[in-house]
Amino acid sequence: MISFQNIHKQYGRVKVLNGVDLGLSGGGVHTILGPNGSGKTTLIKILLGMVIPQKGEVVIDSKIVNGKWEYRNDIDYLPQIARFPDNLSVSELIKMIIHLRKKSNRSEELIRLFKLEPFLDQKLGNLSGGTRQKVNLVLAFMFDSRIIILDEPTTGLDPVAVVHLKELIRKERLKGKIILVTTHIMSFVEEMADQIIFLLEGKIYFKGTNEELRAKNNSKNLEHAIATLLEVNHA
């Protein structure tokens, strides 16, 4: 169980999150949607302890985790933009992360899945964006943590890699894990999401299933439902 309680975050005069209350209970894929600047990535970084809110608490399993770090050992995270040291090889990076986290891992299985064997000795700075994203996915899924955070996970991936990503998410969902995803790809949301959270101007305007969102806005598909939600709340 993850709970954001009255979260406020402001940069200068810009209110990024304005009293967010959100509970994520049970396993499944929870997708956070919203236009650029709506606060999605900030909310994720607050959960990770990378951003400190001016007000509010993050609670995991009934324990306030603000200012603590131990809980993060049970979270796997895929950032939207992976900033790797360019001078390291792929294998050196993977070994370094394994050494730092000191947890059992399935890196070899994931390397085979994403066909990264030919790239293991290549420097990260020489890789294409899509290959770097596959390395990013290996790092995000190689530990068996019960919370997985994926920030725009399909960026740069070819269709085959997207299929493998979806298979991975489905397997982790079956284990009862909480999988928190941000994405702009509506087809991905329609196929994978158990719950949709729509964030706009630092507030939550909707929380529920794809079907509930479409019914609420009398929309034939998710893309149209999101557009209607934006129009209504910007009117």
What angle separates helix 90-101 from helix 129-141, to the nearest 10 degrees? 20
Number of other residues whose CB lies within 10 A of the CB of residue 229 = 20
pLDDT at 1 over 70: yes
Question: From its phi and psi, is residue 96 left (phi > 0), alpha (psi between -120 and 50) or beta?
Answer: alpha
Strands of the sheet with 55-60, listed across from one edge: 14-24, 2-11, 55-60, 63-64
pLDDT at 232 over 80: no
Rounded-to-integer distance, Cα 15 and Cα 11, Å: 7
pLDDT digits (tens, 9 = 90+) for 79-100: 988 788 999 999 999 999 999 9
pLDDT at 235 over 60: no
pLDDT digits (tens, 9 = 90+) for 35-52: 888 889 899 999 999 999
Question: Can you give the pLDDT at residue 227?
Answer: 85
Question: Can you give the pLDDT at residue 60?
Answer: 93
215 Cβ contact partners less than 8 Å away, ≥ 6 residues apart: none
Q: Mean of the per-residue pLDDT values for the chain?
A: 91
**Six-digit token string for 216:** 């609420």
Residue 77: what are its φ and ψ, rounded to 5°? -135, 130
Q: Which CATH superfamily hosts domain 2-234?
A: P-loop containing nucleotide triphosphate hydrolases (3.40.50.300)
Pairing of β 14-24 and β 2-11 = antiparallel
Looking up tokens 């790797």 gives 84
pLDDT digits (tens, 9 = 90+) for 3-21: 999 999 999 988 999 999 9
Pairing of β 147-151 and β 14-24 = unpaired
Question: Can you give the pLDDT at residue 2?
Answer: 93
User: How much is the pTM?
Assistant: 0.92
pLDDT at 234 over 70: no
| 171 CB-contact burial (10 Å; exposed 0-12 / middle 13-18 / buried 19+) | exposed
Residue 150: what are its φ and ψ, rounded to 5°? -125, 110
Question: Can you give the pLDDT at residue 217?
Answer: 79
pLDDT digits (tens, 9 = 90+) for 164-214: 999 999 999 999 999 999 998 899 999 999 999 999 888 998 999 988 988
H helix or E strand, kind and range, residue 206: strand 203-208
pLDDT digits (tens, 9 = 90+) for 121-142: 999 999 999 999 999 999 999 9
Question: Can you give the pLDDT at residue 20?
Answer: 94
Q: What is the DSSP letter of 89?
A: B
The candidate with the shortest Cα–Cα distance to 198, out of 153, 155, 233, is 233
**Six-digit token string for 56:** 């509010």
